[in-house]
Chains A and B, each alone.
Chain A
Amino acid sequence: MPATRANGRLRPISIARRPLTALLLPVPIVCFIGNLLTDLAYLNSGGNLIWLNFSTWLNAAGLVFGAIAAVLLLIDTVRSSVSWATFLFLAAAWVVEFINALVHARDGWTAVAGIGLILSIIGVVLILISGWLWQSVRYAGVEVRP
Chain B
Amino acid sequence: MNRLLIAALLASLAACGSSQKIDTSQQMGPNPVLPEPSEELVAAVGVPKVVGWKNGETPVVPPGFKIEAMATGFESPRNVYPLANGDVLVVETQRVGSEPVDRPKDPIRDFIMTMAHGGGGAKETAGAGGGPPQRITLLRDANGDGKPELRSVLVDHLNSPFGVVLVGNDLYVANTDSIVRYPFTPGQTKITAPGQKVIDLPGGLIDHHWTKSLTASPDGTKLYAGVGSNSNIQERGPEAETNRAAIWEVDPKTGAYRIFASGLRNPNGLTFYPGSNTLWAVINERDELGPNLVPDYMTSVKDGAFYGWPWSYYGQHVDARPRPQRPDMVAKAIPPDYALSSHVAPLGLAFYTGSSFPALFRGGAFVGEHGSWNRHELNGYRVVFIRFAGGKPVGKPMNFVAGFLDRDGNARGRPVGVAVDRTGALLIADDVGNTVWRVSYQGGGAAPATAGK
Tell me the A residues contacting B by CB distance below 8 Å. Answer: 46-47, 49, 52-53, 56-57, 60, 91, 94-95, 98-99, 101-103, 105-111
The answer to whether A109 and B43 touch across the interface, beta carbons within 8 angstroms, is no
B237 interfacial by beta-carbon distance below 8 Å: yes
Q: Which of B1-9, B160-168, B217-225, B421-429 contacts A (4 or more CB under 8 A)?
A: B1-9
Query: Shortest CB–CB separation between residue A119 and chain B, in angstroms?
Result: 10
The answer to whether A47 and B323 touch across the interface, beta carbons within 8 angstroms, is yes
B13 interfacial by beta-carbon distance below 8 Å: yes
When distances are taken between beta carbons in the complex, the residues of chain A under 8 Å from B231 are 107
Which applies to chain A's interface (DSSP): helix, strand, loop or mixed? Answer: helix
The answer to whether A102 and B324 touch across the interface, beta carbons within 8 angstroms, is no
Chain B residue with the shortest CB-CB distance to A56: B103
When distances are taken between beta carbons in the complex, the residues of chain A under 8 Å from B39 are 106, 110
The residue from B6, B105, B235, B321 contacting A98, defined by CB atoms under 8 A apart? B6
The answer to whether A99 and B41 touch across the interface, beta carbons within 8 angstroms, is yes
When distances are taken between beta carbons in the complex, the residues of chain B under 8 Å from A111 are 321
What are 27 inter-chain pairs, A to B, with CB distance below 8 A?
A: A46-B323, A47-B322, A49-B235, A49-B237, A52-B103, A56-B103, A57-B103, A57-B104, A91-B1, A91-B2, A94-B2, A95-B6, A95-B9, A99-B10, A99-B13, A99-B41, A105-B103, A105-B104, A106-B39, A107-B233, A107-B234, A107-B288, A108-B320, A109-B320, A109-B322, A109-B323, A110-B39
Would you list the 4 A-B pairs with minimal beta carbon distance, nearest first?
Answer: A47-B323, A108-B321, A107-B235, A105-B105
When distances are taken between beta carbons in the complex, the residues of chain B under 8 Å from A98 are 6
Interface membership of chain B positions 370-407, coded 1 if the CB is closer than 8 angstroms to chain A and 0 otherwise:
00000000000000000000000000000000000000
The answer to whether A103 and B41 touch across the interface, beta carbons within 8 angstroms, is yes
When distances are taken between beta carbons in the complex, the residues of chain A under 8 Å from B43 are 105
**Measured CA separation A91–B237 after assembly (Å):** 35
The answer to whether B104 and A60 touch across the interface, beta carbons within 8 angstroms, is yes
Query: Shortest CB–CB separation between residue A135 and chain B, in angstroms?
Result: 24
B18 interfacial by beta-carbon distance below 8 Å: no
When distances are taken between beta carbons in the complex, the residues of chain A under 8 Å from B103 are 52-53, 56-57, 105
**Measured CA separation A111–B10 after assembly (Å):** 16
Which applies to chain B's interface (DSSP): helix, strand, loop or mixed? Answer: loop
When distances are taken between beta carbons in the complex, the residues of chain A under 8 Å from B288 are 106-107
**Measured CA separation A106–B42 after assembly (Å):** 9
**Measured CA separation A29–B233 after assembly (Å):** 32
B189 interfacial by beta-carbon distance below 8 Å: no
When distances are taken between beta carbons in the complex, the residues of chain A under 8 Å from B105 are 56, 105
Q: Contacts A49-B237, A102-B41 hold; do A108 and B322 have CB atoms under 8 A apart?
A: yes
The answer to whether B104 and A107 touch across the interface, beta carbons within 8 angstroms, is no
Interface membership of chain B positions 326-348, coded 1 if the CB is closer than 8 angstroms to chain A and 0 otherwise:
00000000000000000000000
When distances are taken between beta carbons in the complex, the residues of chain A under 8 Å from B13 are 99
Chain A residue with the shortest CB-CB distance to B10: A99
Instruction: Specify which of A53, A102, A105 lies most central, judged by the most chain B CB atoms within 10 Å of its CB.
Output: A105
B24 interfacial by beta-carbon distance below 8 Å: no
The answer to whether A108 and B102 touch across the interface, beta carbons within 8 angstroms, is no
Additional pairs, 14, CB under 8 Å, beyond known A56-B103, A107-B321: A46-B323, A46-B324, A47-B323, A49-B235, A91-B1, A95-B6, A98-B6, A102-B41, A103-B41, A105-B103, A106-B288, A107-B235, A108-B321, A109-B320
Interface membership of chain B positions 41-55, coded 1 if the CB is closer than 8 angstroms to chain A and 0 otherwise:
111000000000000
Query: Shortest CB–CB separation between residue A67 and chain B, in angstroms?
Result: 9
Chain B residue with the shortest CB-CB distance to A108: B321
B356 interfacial by beta-carbon distance below 8 Å: no
The residue from A53, A95, A110 contacting B102, defined by CB atoms under 8 A apart? A53
**Measured CA separation A8–B315 after assembly (Å):** 74
When distances are taken between beta carbons in the complex, the residues of chain B under 8 Å from A91 are 1-2
Chain B residue with the shortest CB-CB distance to A59: B104
Query: Shortest CB–CB separation between residue B6 and chain A, in angstroms?
Result: 6
When distances are taken between beta carbons in the complex, the residues of chain B under 8 Å from A105 are 43, 103-105
When distances are taken between beta carbons in the complex, the residues of chain A under 8 Å from B321 are 106-111
The answer to whether A99 and B9 touch across the interface, beta carbons within 8 angstroms, is yes
Query: Shortest CB–CB separation between residue B150 and chain A, in angstroms?
Result: 48
Query: Shortest CB–CB separation between residue A122 and chain B, in angstroms?
Result: 12
The answer to whether B104 and A95 touch across the interface, beta carbons within 8 angstroms, is no
When distances are taken between beta carbons in the complex, the residues of chain A under 8 Å from B1 are 91
When distances are taken between beta carbons in the complex, the residues of chain A under 8 Å from B233 are 107-108
